[in-house]
Amino acid sequence: MTLPAPGEGTPPNARAWLAGILALLAVGVFGVRGTAQGESRAARTLPAAFTLLLAVLGTEALLRAYAVPAGLIPTPGRVLSALWTARTVLLQDTYTTFVLEALLGFVAGTVLGLALALLVVRFRFLERGLLPYAALFSSIPIVALAPVIVKAVGLDWPSKTVVVAVTVLFPVVVGAVRGLQSASRLHLDLMHTYAATPAQTFRDVRVPGALPFVFGALKVASTLALISAIVAEFFGTNGHGLGFRIQIEVGRFGLDIVWAAIVLASVAGIAFFALVNALETRLLPRAGRS
């Protein structure tokens, strides 16, 4: 697939807009002086944003000052231009990697992991018969596992979905089992005193106690999902995906496209983690969160 030339399609006055946004954020950082209640949100977000923007501007200045070749390290300005120039291709790659591979694999691995955890807790012999192999299997590097699955399932996106599901599966199993087994004996005895059914005990004691462990595992799995999807694309694909784009453009020395793909992968990963964190905030009482 041929991408547009780096100089084509750049939005007019893009750098002027970028400079204006940077200046506006700088004014916001140094100018926000409200009440303690009113500035709490800004105090959490603006310093991090301002630090990132300073790093971007500093990188741009250093690369220009030392005349570093774009084929070695592109400036942030060139990366921004590449994001706009190749936006159609990069968005298609992001959709393939994030939605079809990482997200679907994450959901499949999570559902299967929770089901296995329920079986392990219900039938104790499975804990000794299954969990040791789960730990052993999860220690296999993704770079060793991915090519085997890709060759077995095929080059299209379902093979990467399987890789992601397998990667996500075992952290979820271990986290859910630990959570379901973490119920206090005092609480279990109390439910027994109240003549509660096993289903009521499971719903009212085991599930609430397991949620912090499950969400801890899901946070880890959300980062592993995108990484494993990108790595799996290095071993064969149908021509779409961020991993495929990075691999192809590195060979062409199109490092501006490479960094543009990395930026999109980072944004997708942060958004994915934030989604899991938002679900945790929604479902767990604040007092019960670690």
Residues present in the chain in total: 290
**In angstroms, rounded to a whole number, what is the distance separating the alpha carbons of residues 244 and 236?**
8
pLDDT of amino acid 199: 67
Q: Which residue ranges make up each domain of the chain?
A: 14-67, 84-288
Per-residue confidence band for 41, with pLDDT thresholds at 50, 70 and 90: low
Report pLDDT digits (tens) over 142-170.
888 889 999 899 889 999 999 999 999 98
For the question of whether the overall pTM of this predicted structure is more than 0.75, the answer is yes
pLDDT confidence of residue 167: 92
**pLDDT confidence tier of residue 24, bands split at 50, 70 and 90:** very low
What percentage of the chain carries pLDDT values higher than 90?
26
Which one is predicted more confidently, 289 or 74?
74
Mean per-residue pLDDT for 199-225?
Answer: 83
pLDDT band at 236 (very low <50, low <70, confident <90, very high): confident
Q: Is 9 exposed, middle or buried (0-12, 13-18, 19+ CB in 10 A)?
A: middle
Give the whole-angstrom CA distance, residue 259 versus residue 90: 11
pLDDT at residue 122, rounded to an integer: 81
Contact 44, 230 (CB under 8 A): no
Type and span of the H or E element at 284 = none
Among 236-240, 266-270, 283-287, which range has the highest average pLDDT? Answer: 266-270
Residue 30 pLDDT grade (very low, low, confident, very high; cuts 50, 70, 90): very low
The answer on pLDDT for 206 being more than 60 is: yes
186 pLDDT tier (thresholds 50, 70, 90): low
Here the tokens at position 254 are: 């199109």
User: Residue 29: which pLDDT band, with cuts at 50, 70 and 90?
Assistant: very low
- Which among 268, 197, 192, 196 is positioned nearest to 230, based on CA atoms? 268
Evaluate if residue 70 carries a pLDDT over 90.
Answer: no
Higher pLDDT residue, 214 or 287? 214
User: How do residues 252-276 score in pLDDT, each as one tens digit?
Assistant: 888 889 999 999 999 899 889 988 9
Rounded Cα distance, 85 and 3, in Å? 8
The residue that leads in pLDDT, 197 or 233, is 233
How far, in Å, are 23, 39, 239 from residue 226 at the CA level? 33, 34, 18
Phi, psi of 66 (to 5 degrees): -95, 5
Count other Cβ atoms within 10 Å, centred on residue 25.
Answer: 15
CA distances, 198 to each of 39, 122, 125, 268 (Å) = 48, 11, 19, 41
CATH class of 84-288: mainly alpha
Residue 249: name the closest of 24, 26, 82 by CA.
82
Are 232 and 160 spatial neighbours (Cβ–Cβ below 8 Å)? yes
